Structure 1
Amino acid sequence: MYTLGFVLTLLGLMGIMLDRKGLEALSYAVLPGLGLWLFGLVGQHATLGAFFGESFKDLLFFGGAAMLFRGLSQSRHLAIPASVVALLLMALFHQNLRSQAIDLPAEETSGLATEGELLVELNDEDNFERWKRWIGAQGWTTERAFAPEDGARTDLDDYYTVNIPANELDQIEEIIARIEATGWTDWVEPNEIIQIELTPARTLPKLNKILGVNDPSVEEQWALEVLEMNKLYDLLGSDQVKPKKKAIVAILDTGVDAGHEDLKDNFYSIAKKYNDDPQGHGTHCAGIAGAVTNNGVGVASFARTGDYFQITSVKVLKAGGSGSQQDIINGIITAVDKGADVLSMSLGGFSTQSRQRAYSEAVRYATDRKVIVVASAGNSNRDAAGFSPVNASGVIGVSAIDNQLQRASFSNKVNRIEMAVAAPGVGIYSTKPNNNYAAHNGTSMAAPFVSGLLGIMKSLRPELTNKEAFKILQQTGKNTRDTANTGRLIQPAGAVKAVLEGNPY
């Protein structure tokens, strides 16, 4: 609808400004075109700031188009063909401009889980039987939400879901109040759904620096130059670097195509059910973090050998790209229990304060075992402190920057996130299912850059904690053009040097 309205408006402006016999009807397209344009624009943006920013740019574009058509109208014979060509060129240029400037891979909440709409933490296991009877008397059902292996060291095994009939969901606030009034609970929060999408983005200028690897698509990976990946490759190839273990970086997402030509030799399987990706989001993130490098195939990532870390997959999102808070927390528990060292979560959604508690407990379950949790900041050009799981205590949040080191226009601001850094997130070229490749935008793309680097750091110092890792990333990083809102841009070689020197800053 937005695109149709935009083109109709341009056609109308052409009809008005050319003022030629036979084109009068085109002028009537302006008003319906503007209406469709405005309606489509409202639907694309969750915030007033993003809406006004895009509408202002489009209005300037319309003004420039009107002036161009007026100028072309002075030519007696070429006015109409020249204007048609100009119209097509403007539409193409505008579409390309938007493909890298707006938040395409949106990550927002889309309501409650269809089953188990509430997460409830009981304050005493002895209350369970009374709780179960009371829930049944209300016409609801309940079951345990999480089953961590080490239940004695976490409160996650005290959480239960409550399944409420659809005809009662309009009373959800009243239902929460009734549950809290029983006195048997420590916490009640909605089990909300997040939804991700992937839309292709235009790739940015080709890499102009030799990295010493033979991956054929490396010239599409502008991010490797900004991250000075050549310095990391040289460092990891020196005699002073000896990994102490092969770390595991878990991609918590839509799954990963484990048979992809550029991933299979660096993939560790937790379970077969996680080894495919009907959506594509998880495979794209996996390639950013850990595509096989210097193998003459596809793209490059963090190391020219597979001695440092492997990637694995835990599905927490369905084929359509949606998943509940319970699904994501269960994924965290699974990855930790299966021995992951780094969890990479390119997902999230707008949250209420209550949503942070279960996520924070899940992250603590990970960090208590020295597992580092990374999450994308979100793609709404807002304050990331209002989004989870990035706002959970103990998470390293990641904002997105473009090739000019500017905060990406869609990236949430991380100035109120306890631990946050920046990584490239615009026009990021990586793996897609079935041996394909594509470029996408999003903080989803920025997070796995950090996760891959942390995989190397954990292989060199397995005991590294999340706080020590963040200090290293922060102190060795470089400023962006908006460091206050992005955090510092990671610099892999500097971070690895700090780990080798035993310097936690």
Structure 2
Amino acid sequence: MFLTAALTVGGSVLLGLAARKDDKNPFFVLGGLALLGIAVFMRLTGTGPLLDSVGFAAAELGAGLLIIAGMVAGKKEQARSFFMLGMGSMVLGVVIILLRGSMFSSSEQVTLLVELGPDDSYEEIAAVVEAHQGVAERAFPMVDLAEDEDLAQVYLIRLPKDCREALRKILDLDTENVDHTELNPTFSLDLPATEPIEEMLPLDVLENDPLVGSQWALEAIRGHEAHALLQDAEPVRKAVVAIVDTGVDASHEDVSSVFGESPGSRDRHGHGSHCAGIAGATTNNGLGVASLNWEGRFVTILGFSALGDNGLGTAESTAEGIISAAEAGADVISLSLGGQSPITPKVMVDAVKFARKRGAVVIAAAGNSNIDAKKSVPSNIEGVIAVGAVNERLAKAPFSNTNSSLSRPISAPGTNILSLRPGGGYVKLSGTSMATPMVSGLAGVLRALNPELTADEVYGILKDSGRSVAGSGTVGTMIDAEQAVRSVLDA
């Protein structure tokens, strides 16, 4: 704090002036002590940790005493005393500050995921967890043993960072009670920059959504032609598309009428709302943008918040979102999230299995690092449709990860995609995050037309009806909404 430093210097100068004279000027003495006292008081009562305040106060006081020592250098005994006191005070201050930093580092809280055997209970490991300052809770309390023996036995343990590895080693040796331990990696959203493009209004389209002329992607996937088929089609039932993301602004004008009751009904970040609009914005309603959800008759959108308002999430929070979506009856689970991980977290693998066992089509973004997505979770999990991005030139987007090494590659437009912004309005974003809900929305329409389609059959239709574009060998065929819809209607 600049003010306390200035007061310390001022007080020290006054005391130094007093100490240089044999007849101490009471004004200098009292004034100097007052300024030093005020500086120390301000330090100790200011914002921030108390130990930090004490440390900085001691260091500043030490600096002041060294100033006095310099001013009375002609009086060796006095100078020596002030110098020793000053150095001692400064050293003490530095030690306190370093000690506090060490304490803060050691007390940083992290998490560990521990899976017990189906016949084991937490009480069997409670003592060793508590000995390492850990606090545990069930990671997925919504799942019972009858539903999934693995997920029901996963515990999330919060503990100091410097205790995690020691506890993990002990638990890994406890093979009688512990089936698996793993870290809980953090994932963050990584969107490439959006570049402005020239907008061209289609001359003759069915949709009356005012911004449809800015949606190049709809034309690229032959969405207008798909709408011509869907306007006269009747869904067997509305399909449920779950957006597992930062949540969805359920009150937005272009999604409110198709949003179903679900926990992620708010979105302060914006990413989830953008994805929701791509997947299922009400189309031909005279508002905003168009999706494949003609007149809102084919898809219901649900929101689940796996990522926080800052766009950060973990393996556990993502798995929880997938599980919750599956239990809510999602036909399609859209995951525009994830990141690189040398080891695929088991909880995410188990969550995908849980969802697929309940019939959900799981679709995930391949990532935006222009590398092989084989280490990109959750798109690299078996059974997940991995989505790469195509640009306006109908070629692989430069940022898109490749997904040809994965078992279910597909691609869709992912650059300069116009969709919802929380609080009203619309915005363009780019990324495989945008390509993913485009695939998810189409998968939802297919499920609405034929709810009996399996997840594997849905992928087969997307792949076989898709079009080859430049780079399809690395990101899969690009979806063709018209051909996909026609193949189901004609079946």
State the AA in 2 paired with 1:143: E
Deviation per residue, 1:166-193 (Å, 9 max, x gap): 3435xx3x54333211113222211111
Per the TM alignment, residue 198 of structure 1 is displaced from its structure 2 partner at its CA by 5.4
1:160 is matched with which residue: 155, 158, 161? 155
Q: For 1:151 and 1:359, locate their aligned partners in 2 and report how far apart those are by CA, in whole Å.
A: 17
Question: Are 1:373 and 2:367 counterparts?
Answer: no
Aligned to 1:312: 302
Partner in structure 1 of residue 254 of structure 2: 262
Where does residue 111 of structure 1 map in the other structure? Answer: none
Stretches of structure 2 lacking an aligned partner (at least 5 in a row): 1-107
Is 2:168 the partner of 1:176? yes
Cα pair distance change 1:298/1:325, threshold 3 Å: same
CA displacement 1:41-99 (0-9 Å, x = unmatched): xxxxxxxxxxxxxxxxxxxxxxxxxxxxxxxxxxxxxxxxxxxxxxxxxxxxxxxxxxx
| Distance in structure 2 (CA, Å) of the matches to 1:304 and 1:211 | 13
Q: 1:166 to 1:245 in 2, by over 3 A?
A: same
Residue 131 of structure 2 corresponds to residue 137 of structure 1: yes
Q: Is it true that 1:216 corresponds to 2:215 in the alignment?
A: no
Contact 1:123 1:185 in 2 (8 A): yes
Q: Tell me which amino acid in the other structure corresponds to 1:146.
A: F
CA distance in 1, matches of 2:190, 2:477: 27
- Tell me the residue number matched to 2:325: 335
Code of the aligned partner of 2:213:
E
Taking the aligned partners of 1:262 and 1:162, their CA distance within structure 2 comes to 40
**CA distance in 1 between partners of 2:145 and 2:420 (Å):** 37
The letter of the residue matching 1:331 is G
Going from structure 1 to structure 2, the CA distance change for 1:354 and 1:254 (only over 3 Å counts) comes to closer
Q: Establish whether residue 344 from structure 1 lines up as the match of residue 365 from structure 2.
A: no
Whether the aligned pair in 1 keeps the contact of 2:280 and 2:296 (CA below 8 Å) is no
Instruction: Pick closer, same or farther for the CA change 1:200–1:408 going to 2, 3 Å.
Output: closer
2:198 pairs, out of 194, 205, 212, with: 205
Which of 108, 117, 127 pairs up with 1:123? Answer: 117
For residues 328 and 451 of structure 1, what CA distance do their matches in structure 2 show? 17
The C-alpha deviation readout for 1:169-222, integer Å capped at 9, x for no partner, is 5xx3x5433321111322221111111155762343324533211111111110
| Residue 394 (structure 2) aligned to one of 381, 392, 405 | 405
Q: Residues of 2 paired with 1:371 and 1:354: CA distance?
A: 20
Pair 152,489 (structure 1): closer, same or farther in 2 beyond 3 Å: same
Instruction: Summarize the Cα distance change of 1:199–1:415 in structure 2 as closer, same or farther, 3 Å threshold.
Output: closer
| Alignment partner, residue 195 of structure 1 | 188
Maintained 8 Å contact 1:198/1:281: no
1:499–1:116 distance in 2 versus 1, CA, 3 Å: farther
Query: Hey, what does 2:412 align to over in structure 1?
Result: 423
Unaligned runs of 5+ in 1: 1-113
Secondary structure in 2 matching 1:352: coil
**CA deviation profile, 1:313-363 (whole Å, cap 9, x unmatched):** 1111111111111111111111111222111111011112242x2211101
CA drift of 1:158 comes to: 1.4
1:438 and 1:335 map into 2 onto residues whose CA distance is 26
- Name the CA shift for 1:434/1:381 in 2 (closer, same or farther; >3 Å): same
In 1, the alpha carbon distance for the partners of 2:476 and 2:467 equals 9
Match of residue 228 from structure 2: 234
Aligned 8 A contact 1:367 1:465 in 2: no
Deviation at 1:368, TM superposition (A): 0.8
SS at match of 1:125: coil
Give the equivalent residue in structure 1 for 2:78.
none
Larger RCO: 1 or 2 (CA < 8 Å, sep 6+): 1
The one-letter amino acid of 1:373's match is V
Contact 1:118/1:189 (8 A) holds in 2:
yes
8 Å contact kept, 1:401–1:425: yes
Q: CA deviation at 1:142?
A: 2.3
1:390 to 379, 390, 396: 379
* Deviation of the 1:440 alpha carbon: 0.8
Q: Figure out how many residues of one structure are paired with residues of the other and give that number.
A: 381
Contact kept, 8 Å, 1:142 with 1:162, in 2: the verdict is yes
TM-aligned CA deviation for residue 371 of structure 1: 0.9
- Report if aligned partners of 2:413, 2:434 keep a CA contact under 8 Å in 1: yes
Change (3 A) 1:337 1:300: same
After TM superposition, the score normalised by the length of structure 2 is 0.74
Offset at residue 242 of structure 1 (A): 2.3
Three-state SS of the structure 2 residue aligned to 1:117 is: strand
Q: 1:58-77 to 2 correspondence within 5 Å? A: none
Q: 2-side partners of 1:168 and 1:368: how far apart?
A: 37
